[in-house]
Amino acid sequence: MSHRTISQNTKQILAKYKLGLKKSLGQNFLTDDRVLERIVDAADLDEHAGVIEIGPGIGALTERLSERAKKVVAVELDQRLIPVLREIFEKQSNIEVIHGDALKVDFHTIISENFGECNSIHVVANLPYYVTSPILIRLLEERLPLQNIVIMIQKEVADRLVAKPGTKDYGSLSVLVQYYTETSLVTKVPSHVFVPRPNVDSAVVKLSRREAPAVNVSNEGLFFKIVRASFAQRRKTLLNTLHSQLFSHLAKSDVADFLTQVGIDPQRRGETLHLAEFAVLTEAWERFSQ
């Protein structure tokens, strides 16, 4: 038996509901079933899984997620799409459509109200580029009990999430994401599989939650403060950046001595530091400033 999927019917659905797409909301809908399959595969779902989907659009991904998971809660910001999604999925009792902004909705409540009978919780999303970082930061910093997050995003942002120290893409977002999760690139996605076609290529990234953060720090706030300061002026040495961003109350020579004592060459650039080195720096600074 073959039935046409939502992704194969994208143009018909948009025409039927007279939906003009909103560029401002990053509405580029995925029309390639193989890519949808790769995304869903990457999430490692089973019949006990609960999924939060962010930005379902007209439901191409939602449809597939609901076939593999126990329950899918789809959070969509565009009010016009809510009745469309509810009509398309009126017979699927395991899909809940919520009108809301992923930057504001209360994910803890969504989880406690919907996934009581689920064994694992996942976030799957095809996100507009401008909300990717804030949504990711929210999902991670709120320490939601997620097994993994699988997101399709602009290729450049994907490169930043999986970037290694010393590369041009490595920055504070890489450190934040890699502190909480193990990241891997699932697949690249060419722009021609979307309607309408975006100007950029995309990629799917999987973030698997670590049992414990990648490094041990007693003061997370300070850790991320040092990380942000280290990347603030990428062309400068670590010494100059940290001195001007964080430690301007000290003599520069003292900051240099401090870095040398913890085994980090003050002339290095912040972007070459591994998470473990940021952690050493944080712990040493805690002791030094007491």
| List of residues contacting ligand SAM (CB under 6 A) | 25-30, 54-57, 60-61, 75-78, 101-103, 126, 128, 131
Residue type for position 266: P
Q: Which is nearer to ligand SAM, 103 or 276 (CB)?
A: 103
How near is the Cβ of 170 to ligand SAM at its closest, in Å? 26
Q: Which is nearer to ligand SAM, 96 or 182 (CB)?
A: 96
Task: Based on DSSP, count helices (H) and strands (E) in the chain, helices before strands.
Answer: 12, 9
Query: Which residue is closest to ligand SAM by CB?
Result: 55
Q: Is 126 annotated as a binding residue?
A: yes
Q: Which is nearer to ligand SAM, 101 or 254 (CB)?
A: 101
How near is the Cβ of 18 to ligand SAM at its closest, in Å? 16
Sequential DSSP letters for 56-103: -TTSHHHHHHHHHSSEEEEEE--TTHHHHHHHHTTT-TTEEEEE--TT
Residues in a beta bridge with 50 = 71, 121
Asked whether 111 and 142 are in contact (CB, 8 A), the reply is no
- CA nearest neighbour of 31 among 263, 241, 194, 242: 194
Alpha-carbon distance 173 to 176, whole Å? 5
How near is the Cβ of 217 to ligand SAM at its closest, in Å? 31
Q: Which is nearer to ligand SAM, 29 or 170 (CB)?
A: 29
120-126 and 148-154: which strand pairing?
parallel
How near is the Cβ of 198 to ligand SAM at its closest, in Å? 8
How near is the Cβ of 123 to ligand SAM at its closest, in Å? 12
Asked whether 176 and 224 are in contact (CB, 8 A), the reply is yes
Q: Is 101 annotated as a binding residue?
A: yes
Q: Which is nearer to ligand SAM, 85 or 229 (CB)?
A: 85
**Hey, is 191 helix, strand or coil?**
helix
Q: Is 30 annotated as a binding residue?
A: yes
Q: Which residues are annotated as a binding site for S-adenosyl-L-methionine?
A: 28, 30, 55, 76, 101, 126
Q: Which residues are annotated as a binding site?
A: 28, 30, 55, 76, 101, 126
